[in-house]
Amino acid sequence: MGIVNVTPDSFSDGGRWASTDLAVEHATRLIADGADLLDVGGESTRPGATRPVLAEELDRVVPVISELASRGVAVSVDTMRAEVAAASVAAGAVVVNDVSGGLADPEILDVVAQSGAVYVAMHWRAHAEQMQRFTHYADGVVAGVCQELGARVDAALAAGVRAEQLVLDPGLGFAKDGEQNWELLGGLEEVEALGFPVLVGASRKSFLGSLLAGPDGPRPIPEREHAGVALSLLLAQRGVWGVRVHDVRATTDALAVWRRLAAAQGRRVQEDA
């Protein structure tokens, strides 16, 4: 899943693709680099970000989605708002990626149920300006995330969303500190045990910067890519549904090497047998 931020304030590349033309140009490069799906978002969810008004978000994402869909590109909309989800699906989006899992706007579940779009429900506790106040998990982060994601699954199913539409995202960095992110990744099999495909978005996030910290502090955002690619490769090897990344080419290159080596190893096993 390649990231297309049509925003002025996203943590990694805010403002670089903030117009329709620039966003479509960037998206076209990501497809050429091997993206299977493009996630178009008009609201930054970085820690401390403030929300755009509805009209701003619609103006940012709908023209981009419409243009990409007209070219046959598979598009996801990254939104927490029912109105944006509905307009985006009408414009051609096939996935609704809701970082709030329906908590920010419960009516988004009705939109998904009626549209039949794939629905990514992420673990979430609060909006960006407040989320890091909610990092306490009484029974540990893995158990807490699984319990709360399970509740979002129940809500989605009750709204008429079919089980086969659902994908879950553990929400790295959202109401979680650096160590909790690693604990969650280490316990990812418990999220998978909920019985739904899993999407993971780790690209360039602060816990990678902290891992790679030097004398001057955490590794700067643009210099975290190698670590993100390594993590995406490990996640792909375990069979996650998707990885959400900024640098599509680096990730697909790593996946191509892994797949080619796996094929060679498979042939060797067959020949030895």
Query: Do 124 and 103 contact (CB within 8 A), yes or no?
Result: yes
The two three-digit tokens of residue 66, written as one number? 């419409």
Instruction: Please choose, from the candidates 202, 256, 242, the residue with its C-alpha nearest in 3D space to the C-alpha of residue 224.
Output: 202
The CA distance from 191 to 101, in Å, is 15
Q: How confident is the model at residue 78 (pLDDT cuts 50, 70, 90)?
A: very high
pLDDT averaged over every residue in the chain: 93
> What is the model's pLDDT at position 268?
67
pLDDT at 273 over 60: no
Of residues 260 and 270, which shows the higher confidence score? Answer: 260
Q: What is the pLDDT of residue 47?
A: 72
The per-residue pLDDT for range 233-265, each reduced to its tens digit, is: 999 999 999 999 999 999 999 999 999 999 998
Q: For 39-70, how does the pLDDT look when each residue is reduced to its tens digit (9 = 90+)? A: 999 998 777 777 889 999 999 999 999 999 99
The pLDDT-based confidence of 10 (bands split at 50, 70, 90) is low
Domain ranges of the chain: 2-202, 203-272
- State residue 121's pLDDT score: 98
Please list the active-site residues: 205, 244
Q: What is the mean pLDDT of residues 127-153?
A: 93
Decide yes or no: CATH 3.10.20.30 for domain 2-202: no
Confidence grade of residue 14 (pLDDT, cut at 50, 70, 90) = low
Stretch 171-192: mean pLDDT: 96
Position 101 pLDDT exceeds 60: yes
Question: Which residue type occupies 16?
Answer: R
For residue 271, the model assigns a pLDDT of 63
User: Residue for token digits 């690693």?
Assistant: 182
Q: What's the pLDDT score for residue 39?
A: 97
Question: What is the Cα 32 distance to its own chain's centre?
Answer: 20
pLDDT computed for residue 272 by the predictor: 64
